[in-house]
Chains A and B, each alone.
Chain A
Amino acid sequence: DAGITQSPRYKITETGRQVTLMCHQTWSHSYMFWYRQDLGHGLRLIYYSAAADITDKGEVPDGYVVSRSKTENFPLTLESATRSQTSVYFCASTGQGYGYTFGSGTRLTVV
């Protein structure tokens, strides 16, 4: 199916564990983004990527790692999860900078 998909939809993990959130898009969009959304903070940019093998930090990158070996995939890894990383995570993509398309989100709970 065409579009942008995130997995898993829901995830519960323990403090200190590594967890990877997946994002896959089928349009070959150049630009991909990871946001977290918390009550009272709107959308905050974690990392973004302009192309395969090109990534850069956003507003809140600490504690997160990204990679982009293929254009269509942009996984986000929490190396050692903390309770403060409990949030809803959204992936987005765009081909030309206009009109981001968002995934359905991953609700992550760190206990």
Chain B
Amino acid sequence: GENVEQHPSTLSVQEGDSAVIKCTYSDSASNYFPWYKQELGKGPQLIIDIRSNVGEKKDQRIAVTLNKTAKHFSLHITETQPEDSAVYFCAALFSNYQLIWGAGTKLIIKP
């Protein structure tokens, strides 16, 4: 079946450094790739997304890159801050408006 692989499962970075989370997907027909942030005790929240006609998208300290040929996309967070600590999920749009989810990355920002 269709799947999305996400790495690493845990990422610990020093405050102020950059963090990169990577995902690969199997369905070559996927054309929409969102990233969600989940803080403790809350539901996932969309932070950035990218569509297949775009290679990169930025929003302040967050950026997402997409390589359709290789079927992988990545989340980049620069100048990390304590409030960036959370679990991050990548996803790829599948048929019937279903998202296929990665397993999540726990990002820890060390002071």
Contacts and interface: CB of A to CB of B under 8 A. Distances in A.
Contacts of B111: none
Task: Name the interface size band of chain A.
Answer: 20 to 34
Interface in A65-111: 90, 92, 94, 96-105
Interface residues of B, number: 20
B32 A97 contact: yes
A42 B44 CA distance: 11
Interface string A40-64: 0111010010100000101000000
Interface string B69-107: 000000000000000000001000100111101111000
B43 to A, nearest CB: 3
A48 B98 contact: yes
A43 to B, nearest CB: 5
